[in-house]
Amino acid sequence: MTVQQWRRVFVCAALLSAAAVHSTQVTREPYGITASGAPVEIFTLHNKKGMLVRVLSYGGIITEISVPDRKGVPGNIALSLPSLQSYEARANFSSLLGRYANRIANGGFTLDGVRYDLPSNPQGVSAHGGPTGFSTRVWHAEPYKNGVVLTYVSADGENGYPGKLSVAAKFSLSEDNALRIEYTAQTDRPTVVNSSHHLYFNLAGSGTILNQSLQVLADRYTPVDARRIPTGQIDSVAGTALDLRTPIPMGDRIDSNDAQIQLAHGLDHNFVLNPPPHPGALRLAARMTDPASGRTVEVRTTDPALQVYTGNGFNGSLMDAHGKPLVRGAGVALETQHFPNSPNQPGFPSTVLRPGQVFQSQTEYRFLIVN
């Protein structure tokens, strides 16, 4: 499907939803120029309750989510960097991920008897679609009724993946403080797809997430090896440090002696979400709360899994938009997704997309205040 056809699809969708009342304001402004000379825009979504979201056309990066605390004081709870150049230097930071979010092992995969090699590290691991994945691309962007639609056409063979993939990511903000991302993709050749967003949360707006609680609605997870690649097993979280079925301060878990936590130097694991009430339904995946500010985010998704990553790689060398060093635990990514390395694990849910099929998934971040 061409970019023009994608635009028509979303224009039609906007007309069909015109009967609904949407009062989110959407503005667009220039943001900067990439090193390759491409202009980048920033889109601001602002609802009547005072919530504000800013999205770049570069990588679909979310630079700001401003929500009030229990005293009504707004604060940015998304980790952000100082400039476009800093985002270019740090791929996958609070950005869209693809073509395949998370990791693929073995230096690639075989599909329909054909081997596809992917750009990989010395351990044979390809991460988040490769070094020039979706987070490094300038997407075509257009305002929507209550948000912005980003579209991109990934060429056949880009980063080793087969098929020309036409992708759309729609960001919308509702009046009840819910940010929704809707992903759609089509291909002209059999390929694999795993869409996600690497948004980093810190509900306090500063410091670390160690005293913030996390609950994940998952009875099972996929254990990993030393490369943080799933072994192929699907195990119960019961009796492990990955049991987050009740709210737990994240600082209580990321230094656990649990072997899985030690392998990842914190939480960096794929949780198998409990089944939805019916196929395709949004269901609660996770709930995170900052007890000091009262800010809470509930994550709902149609995806089968959630990757929880507690910023284990931050070591103070990267500065945020305020010039403060990002340290371990400065933020947490709650990445809705399919399982990592599914193309090499036939026992995992399939991520294969074929011509004539439409890949679709939705994720919603709903922001609340608790006393």
Residues noted as catalytic: 198, 335
Answer whether 316's CB lies under 8 Å from 79's CB: no
Phi, psi torsion values for 307, nearest 5 degrees: -95, 125
CA separation for the pair 49, 47 (Å, rounded): 6
Which position has the token pair 């149609």?
302
Which residues have a Cβ under 8 Å from the Cβ of 11 and sit 6 or more positions away?
A: none
Cis peptide preceding 99, ω within 30 of 0 = yes
Which pair of tokens denotes residue 329?
Answer: 């635990």
Measured CA to CA in angstroms, residue 161 lies from 86, 157, 273, 291, 348 at distances of: 27, 5, 27, 44, 20
What CA dihedral angle connects 250, 320, 171 and 284, to 10 degrees? 0
Answer whether 93's CB lies under 8 Å from 105's CB: no
Answer whether 217's CB lies under 8 Å from 274's CB: yes
CA separation for the pair 336, 333 (Å, rounded): 9
Which pair of tokens denotes residue 235?
Answer: 């195990």
Which position has the token pair 């990791």?
103
Which residue spans within 126-203 are E strands per DSSP? 126-127, 140-144, 147-154, 165-173, 178-187, 191-192, 196-197, 200-201
CA separation for the pair 213, 16 (Å, rounded): 39
Give the single-character DSSP code of 195.
-
Please count the other Cβ atoms lying within 10 Å of the Cβ belonging to residue 185: 24
